[in-house]
Amino acid sequence: MARISINNVTKRFGTGDGQIIAVDDVSIDILDGEFVVFVGPSGSGKSTLLRTVAGLEQQSEGDVIIGDTIVNELGPRARDIAMVFQNYALYPNMTVEGNMSFGLKMSTDYSSEEIETRVRSTAEMMGIDNLLDNTPGEMSGGQQQRVALGRAIVRDPNVFLMDEPLSNLDAKLRAEMRTEINRLQNELDVTTLYVTHDQTEAMTMGDRLVILDQGELQQAGTPLECFYKPTNIFVAGFLGSPS
């Protein structure tokens, strides 16, 4: 059974001659525990599609279903999701501990002891338990990104949404974090939607790719299927398939 269904979702911005169709009638079912990568060139509608799943953008047409719930009318907080974006948006004046516990304090009824235990064990899992008293300004980009991941994971979501979470990191750290994110995803078995414009990232990380161009779904399949059996010229060119 699908954990997330995106059914005929279209998103238009603006009106009249200036209208842009950012997402054009996209449908895809994402299975429980699957790691699906939305990949395509800049402006292909990846972020907009993810944002409709997150509830940050209201689609013009179509339905988004998470679990058993049609979430079209629900805001981000009411959806069973956690998000990590490119600019980590950590609270600059809070410690790591504060950053990680804030969401739990705001939107769950855990006791403060439970929150402390959860934050500590998540921090250990992410290798940031030595940083709990530090503020973001005192940490490297890689450490901040780990905190952002930890802050999302600590809420124990069923769905994880990530939009280019590694694009601010240097190449070495990016490669390391790819492995780390895949490891976490396996360990936590959390359904993940991951946006990137980077073919290598998509090919190495995804159970399945959703390849977009100009708002339209070009192909959905495993990395190997898409690479070796591209369904059109765009996909073949984009992935560099052998001809």
Closest approach of ligand ADP to the CB of residue 26, in Å: 11
Closest approach of ligand ADP to the CB of residue 35, in Å: 18
Rule CB under 5 A: is residue 191 a binding residue for Mg ion? no
Rule CB under 6 A: is residue 22 a binding residue for ligand ADP? yes
Closest approach of ligand ADP to the CB of residue 120, in Å: 35
Residues that bind ligand ADP (rule: CB under 6 A) add up to a total of 11
Closest approach of Mg ion to the CB of residue 47, in Å: 3
Closest approach of Mg ion to the CB of residue 28, in Å: 17
Interaction partner, residue 43 (Mg ion, ligand ADP, none; CB < 5-8 Å by kind) = ligand ADP
Only segment of 36-44, 60-68, 128-136, 225-233 that touches ligand ADP (CB under 6 A): 36-44
For ligand ADP, the closer of residues 9 and 123 by Cβ is 9
Q: Which of residues 48-77 bind ligand ADP (CB under 6 A)?
A: 48
Nearest CA-CA partner of 55 in 24, 95, 17, 9: 9
Length of the chain: 243
CA distance 51 to 31: 19
Count of CA atoms in the C-beta half-sphere (13 A) of 15: 0
Rule CB under 6 A: is residue 101 a binding residue for ligand ADP? no
Only segment of 37-45, 84-92, 99-107, 181-189 that touches ligand ADP (CB under 6 A): 37-45
Radius of gyration of the chain measured on its C-alpha atoms: 18
Q: Would you tell me how many other CB atoms lie within 10 Å of the CB of residue 10? A: 16
For ligand ADP, the closer of residues 129 and 198 by Cβ is 198
Q: Tell me which of 44, 47, 144, 145 binds Mg ion, using CB under 5 A.
A: 47
Q: Would you tell me how many other CB atoms lie within 10 Å of the CB of residue 217? A: 21
Identify any residues that bridge with 52 across adjacent strands, giving them in sequence order.
Answer: none
CB 153 within 8 A of CB 135: no
H-run or E-run covering 59: none
Q: Evaluate the CA torsion angle 84, 89, 95, 100 in order and state its sign.
A: negative
For Mg ion, the closer of residues 128 and 217 by Cβ is 217
For ligand ADP, the closer of residues 20 and 233 by Cβ is 20
H-run or E-run covering 1: none
Tell me 48's DSSP state: H
CA distance 48 to 43: 9
Residues near ligand ADP, by CB under 6 A: 13, 20, 22, 40, 42-48
Would you tell me which residues interact with Mg ion (CB under 5 A)?
47
